[in-house]
């Protein structure tokens, strides 16, 4: 797989996923929409492993990796779908952009990574100020948006926690095997939550847009996207991969406005700029200061 193609695929898929979640939940209950998506991804992933004869290890470390990865898929996706009826796809993508910051905080506790310096603390403040500005209009006008923001923040927490836990497992597994293993671990949980919260199959109420969105998310959002993500994670440095979280909100906001008539207010634009500036400072602030000091010393 070409690294550039994989990188572009992740950017495009992650940018379109929030809108796909919103559309798939229009006429299909959120728990059934996400379950259907994961079933499609699991079937196609298993097919790929069989056809391409990819090694699928089943040992203690591999299962541990699958469980940690599955935690992010189940927690992140379940709460994202629960948030979809209450907030726009653009806001979902923007809040998910905070995942690197939250992952950094969790890594301090779980992996004993160094605490944030002054620059990263400032970056975190900028990002959360931006989040507050973005949410201010919606929370003031619609109480349901509060619930949506709460759900998407839980989704970001699970996604970030999963990414940190995955780093703690020292094992090299094919990206497709990692994805399918995580899907197999999370699938029973998706079935369980659907049975508890819904448990019905009202096929006659499903709209074409929801069905096509589920198929797209199953093949691309849940399978191709994760395979490409795990692949570039192995090939590129962290700061290059982190660029994705800065590009996707802008694209997702534009797609939501153009394809789904989602409003883009002044507060949303200002808040988005704060979040993106915070993420840029978080990822490159320390390096820029180091290079500047090094230049002065020379």
Q: pLDDT digits over 135-172, tens only?
A: 776 555 555 678 888 899 999 999 889 988 988 888 88
d(CA 51, CA 204): 35
Q: What is the pLDDT of residues 31-66, one digit of tens each?
A: 999 999 999 999 999 999 999 999 999 999 999 999
What range does the domain containing 91 cover? 3-297
Calpha distance 107→67 (Å, rounded) = 18
Mean per-residue pLDDT for 15-39? 93
Q: pLDDT digits over 173-225, tens only?
A: 888 899 999 999 999 999 999 999 999 999 999 999 999 999 999 999 988 98
286, 119 Cβ separation under 8 angstroms: yes
Q: How many domains does the chain have?
A: 1
Q: Of 75-79, 97-101, 200-204, 231-235, which gets the smallest average pLDDT?
A: 231-235
Highest-confidence segment of 88-97, 123-132, 207-216: 207-216
Cα distances (angstroms) measured from residue 50 to each of 56, 67, 92, 97, 177:
10, 22, 35, 35, 11
**Mean of the per-residue pLDDT values for the chain?**
86
- Supply the pTM of this predicted model: 0.86
Judge contact between 33 and 198, C-beta under 8 A: no
Give the CA distances from residue 13 to residues 65, 98, 197, in Å, rounded to whole numbers and listed in that order.
23, 18, 28
In this structure, of 51-55, 132-136, 260-264, 270-274, the range with the lowest mean pLDDT score is: 132-136
Could you count the other beta carbons within 10 Å of the beta carbon of residue 173? Answer: 20
CA 109 to chain centre: 21
Q: Which residues fall within 8 angstroms of residue 224, CB to CB, at 6 or more apart?
A: 9, 13
Q: Does the structure show a pLDDT above 50 at 298?
A: no
């Amino acid at each position: 797989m070409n690294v550039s193609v994989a990188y572009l695929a992740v950017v495009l898929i992650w940018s379109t996923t929030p809108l796909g979640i919103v559309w798939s939940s229009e006429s299909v209950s959120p728990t059934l929409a996400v379950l259907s998506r994961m079933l499609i991804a699991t079937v196609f992933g298993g097919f790929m492993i069989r056809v391409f004869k990819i090694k699928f290890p089943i040992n203690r470390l591999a299962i541990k990796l699958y469980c940690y990865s599955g935690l992010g898929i189940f927690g992140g996706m379940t709460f994202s779908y629960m948030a979809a009826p209450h907030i726009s796809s653009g806001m979902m993508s923007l809040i998910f952009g905070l995942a690197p910051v939250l992952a950094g905080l969790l890594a301090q506790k779980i992996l004993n990574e160094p605490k944030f310096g002054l620059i990263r603390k400032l970056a975190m403040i900028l990002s959360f100020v931006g989040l507050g500005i973005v949410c201010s209009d919606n929370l003031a006008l619609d109480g349901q948006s509060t619930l949506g923001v709460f759900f998407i923040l839980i989704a970001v927490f699970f996604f970030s926690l999963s990414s940190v836990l995955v780093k703690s497992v020292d094992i090299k597994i094919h990206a497709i095997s990692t994805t399918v293993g995580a899907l197999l671990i999370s699938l029973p949980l998706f079935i369980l939550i659907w049975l508890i919260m819904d448990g019905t199959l009202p096929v006659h109420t499903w709209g074409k847009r929801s069905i096509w969105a589920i198929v797209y998310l199953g093949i691309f959002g849940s399978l191709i996207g994760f395979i490409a993500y795990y692949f570039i994670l192995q090939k590129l440095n962290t700061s290059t991969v982190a660029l994705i979280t800065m590009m996707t909100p802008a694209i997702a906001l534009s797609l939501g406005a153009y394809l789904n008539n989602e409003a883009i207010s002044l507060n949303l634009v200002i808040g988005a700029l704060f979040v993106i500036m915070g993420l840029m400072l978080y990822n490159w602030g320390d390096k820029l200061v180091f290079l500047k000091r090094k230049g002065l010393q020379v």
